[in-house]
Structure 1
Amino acid sequence: MENQGMKMEDIAKLANVSKAAVSLAFSGKPGIGPDTRERILQVAYEAGYSPKSREVAVTKADKSLLFLVCTNSGIILEEYYQQPFFKELIHFIEERCRQKGYALIFSTLDVEFFQRDIQVVADEKRSVGTIVLGTNLTREQIRDIHAKLPNLIVLDTCFETLPVQFIQINNVMGAYQAGVYLCNIGHTSIGYIASNLRIHNFEERKRGFMAALSERGLRVSEAAYLSVAPTILTSQDELKRQLTTYLENGNSMPTAWFCECDYIAISAMKTMNELGIRVPQHTSVIGFDNINESLVVTPELTTIHVDKERMASLAVDLLTDTLSQGSQGTSKIIVDTILVERNSCAAPAGSGLAGQMPDSSGLD
């Protein structure tokens, strides 16, 4: 039975959390972990407390949009709202929703309980339209979401044969720009550091980069193709092992490396620094995404800028226009990229590091 005398402050005390955490749990917004959210909701249920229309469900459903994320995939973590790329993207989506007079509410699907969670979200009917973060989703998963949530925009991936609205980065173009840039500043020995978890975006980036090299008669040798975790901003022992093995086998250090995302690039620079490999004196590093962290590492990271603000605005505008004007067919929008030249890349020095680690003191 509903406890009319209980307030949000009482639930906060019972759950030993802040009132703000209780509000986040009821609204579905990010900012607390899934275990904390579940515990708050369980405490509220056991106390017989029912929030006023989910604390007004932020606003009425007819003026709310849902941001839907599938977590636990290795690419999208449970704390996705703290991952730099997605944090920036969410900020711009929230801002555009506010400008258009909509509230943005959040929900997550656990990849292990995908079908169950989609049905729960569909049954709740908390919003009139949904923006799905599609970065880590398969064609089949997006198809299943669309079947239950037809007013849908999918961000950060694209499957051409689905009759669904997509807004995607031009991954092929961005990686092609990176390859052309490295070649143009004189690099002919180039390595590639890939994500060990494969998604649509990374496959497209690989295609674009390899095309740029192929057009210039170059290729990445099999030995210089490394693979590491894509969500770590610190140095990685696994990358250290791969680089050490590569050099101990008598291979010359590539004069430049392309990394499939900025996480990998930043991690690579930190790992190389621990091995005494200086960037860009010994080797250049270029990333992809232009997250804010690319400006605070030393040296600042040369990267491919993804216009996250434009992607967010296009997603919200396309969805709200469809809702107000009715369906007029689906569209797939590709947002082009821009090369951002900073200090992690330079022309090759001309002195190789064949088969050995440079001394940690380095050479200018």
Structure 2
Amino acid sequence: MSNKVTMQQIADHLGVSKFVVSKALSGKGGVSEATQERVIQAAAQLGYFSQKNAYVKSMKLEQLPKVPAANKQSVLVLMPNIRFQTKESLYWGRILDGISSRLEEEGCGMVIVSEQSVDHFLHFLNPNGILGLIGVGEISTPLLLEVHRIGLPMVLVDHEDMLIPTDTVFTNNYESMYRLTKHLIGKGHKRLCFVGNINYSRSFKDRFLGFRSALEEQADYGLAFGHREENLLPVEGFEHEDFQEPVRQWAVKRLKSKTMPTALLCANDMIAIGAVHAMQELGLSVPGEVSVTGFDNIDDSYRMTPALTTVHVPKETLGKRAVERLLSRIASKQEPMEKLLVAGELLYRESTAGAQS
């Protein structure tokens, strides 16, 4: 049996004092953000968070600030208001709908918190009323560390933190994008490009990996990882208008060099909508000259012209599965962590066609 990882070992590993490690892991401040991040990284690498009773001085729920709770059995839903992660979102809002409906079936309440500050977040915890936490979308490591330190049961939806062990729920992003890419290759496309910032989220990265794997299986492509810039256009933003101009400028350069792809596989529907508008602005026919695909199947994807080929993400189901996983975790706290993958459905619409010869 391996020995328990201690704060002193983490301190020795980093060349700092045990006091610094204790402060960094306590979440109470006293050290810089950079130092805290180094300590968290080292603790994760050494396996500190994976062992039982990781915190010597962990705060008990009874010690947390008490606030009134309308329902004695509620689940805290943490969705920091970043990256347009809001209830009104065509994507995140549907996940919340799934969480809400499943909790209602169980007779539980839901408290939505958009707080990003660790100190302020603690005031939302009521030891007499909170069953556990469901995190939706991107959440900072310090916040997740605080929840882990407290010992509150937690499930993350469409996000994972490699430093903090948690149950997670995702769509099968890799497999869905792999199949979509294979479909376009089968329709004769040999010049394909993934559009999206792969560092934006774990989902985006998995979608790119599925895309790349499908390409690398084609012997005539010669697409080594070192040449991926030919097949990757990193763009950033939130609304489709944010993506239209960067894609248009990129396409102008590719058209001049006669290296314009015949298919653009976008990391989500918002990017794809912007890409379609960019192609149309340049006078390129979609899908006649360039096929474009999205991911998520938001409402706008089938309302646009041409209707967007995409992957349907069962957003409400993601929320429901998160609730079910949380309730299972509460009932059996010693079970191994699980990563649940919900299958996406490929929807072939008018924005894709066979490649021109």
- Whether 1:127 and 2:130 are equivalent positions in the alignment is yes
Q: What's the counterpart of residue 314 of structure 2?
A: 307
Q: What's the counterpart of residue 165 of structure 2?
A: 163
Q: Deviations over 1:246-281 (max 9, x none)?
A: 223x22321111111111111111121122122101
- Cα–Cα, structure 1 residues 207 and 154, in superposed 2: closer, same or farther, change >3 Å? same
Q: What's the counterpart of residue 118 of structure 1?
A: 121
Distance of 1:107 and 1:149 partners within structure 2: 18
Question: Which of the residues 235, 238, 244 maps onto 1:236?
Answer: 244
Q: What's the counterpart of residue 76 of structure 2?
A: 66
Residue identity (%)? 26
Q: What's the counterpart of residue 4 of structure 1?
A: none
Kept after mapping to 2: 8 A contact 1:64/1:104: yes
Aligned-partner residue type, residue 242 of structure 1: W
Map of 1:174-213 to 2, 5 A cutoff?
A: 174-195=176-197, 198-213=200-215
Aligned length: 285
Q: What's the counterpart of residue 269 of structure 1?
A: 276
TM-score, normalised with respect to structure 2: 0.72
Distance of 2:347 and 2:215 partners within structure 1: 19
Q: What's the counterpart of residue 348 of structure 1?
A: 355
88-97 or 212-221: bigger deviation:
212-221
- Cα–Cα, structure 1 residues 145 and 273, in superposed 2: closer, same or farther, change >3 Å? farther
Q: Note the residue ranges of structure 1 that are not aligned, 5 or more in a row.
A: 1-52, 351-364
Q: Secondary structure at the match of 1:289?
A: coil
Kept after mapping to 2: 8 A contact 1:172/1:204: yes
Q: What's the counterpart of residue 29 of structure 1?
A: none
* Residue 156 of structure 1, CA deviation: 0.8
Q: Deviations over 1:315-352 (max 9, x none)?
A: 112223443x34242322122222111111100122xx
* Residue 285 of structure 1, CA deviation: 0.6
Distance of 2:73 and 2:126 partners within structure 1: 17
* Residue 157 of structure 1, CA deviation: 2.3
* Residue 209 of structure 1, CA deviation: 0.7
User: RMSD of aligned C-alpha atoms?
Assistant: 2.6
Distance of 2:258 and 2:210 partners within structure 1: 25
Distance of 2:163 and 2:197 partners within structure 1: 26
Aligned-partner residue type, residue 303 of structure 2: V
Map of 1:128-147 to 2, 5 A cutoff?
A: 128-133=131-136, 135-137=137-139, 141-147=143-149
- Cα–Cα, structure 1 residues 172 and 143, in superposed 2: closer, same or farther, change >3 Å? farther
Distance of 2:314 and 2:303 partners within structure 1: 19
- Cα–Cα, structure 1 residues 195 and 334, in superposed 2: closer, same or farther, change >3 Å? same
- Whether 1:83 and 2:89 are equivalent positions in the alignment is yes
Q: Deviations over 1:138-191 (max 9, x none)?
A: 556533332236221111123567432111222211211121111111111112
Distance of 1:166 and 1:159 partners within structure 2: 10
- Whether 1:320 and 2:320 are equivalent positions in the alignment is no
Q: Deviations over 1:53-106 (max 9, x none)?
A: 98x84x32x32111101233xx345xx222211011111211111122112221
Q: Deviations over 1:283-329 (max 9, x none)?
A: 10111111222111111111112222321221112223443x34242
Distance of 1:216 and 1:125 partners within structure 2: 57
82-91 or 222-231: bigger deviation:
222-231
Distance of 1:314 and 1:266 partners within structure 2: 29
Kept after mapping to 2: 8 A contact 1:302/1:345: yes
Q: Secondary structure at the match of 2:284?
A: coil
Distance of 1:71 and 1:125 partners within structure 2: 26
Q: Secondary structure at the match of 1:195?
A: coil
TM-score, normalised with respect to structure 1: 0.71
Map of 1:268-307 to 2, 5 A cutoff?
A: 268-307=275-314
Aligned-partner residue type, residue 245 of structure 2: D
Distance of 1:274 and 1:196 partners within structure 2: 26
Kept after mapping to 2: 8 A contact 1:64/1:102: yes
Distance of 2:87 and 2:237 partners within structure 1: 16
Q: Note the residue ranges of structure 2 that are not aligned, 5 or more in a row.
A: 1-65
Q: Deviations over 1:23-61 (max 9, x none)?
A: xxxxxxxxxxxxxxxxxxxxxxxxxxxxxx98x84x32x
Q: Secondary structure at the match of 1:285?
A: strand
Q: What's the counterpart of residue 5 of structure 2?
A: none
* Residue 223 of structure 1, CA deviation: 4.2
Kept after mapping to 2: 8 A contact 1:122/1:149: no
Distance of 1:286 and 1:174 partners within structure 2: 12
- Cα–Cα, structure 1 residues 89 and 321, in superposed 2: closer, same or farther, change >3 Å? same
Map of 1:208-223 to 2, 5 A cutoff?
A: 208-217=210-219, 218=221, 219=223, 222-223=229-230
Kept after mapping to 1: 8 A contact 2:198/2:204: no
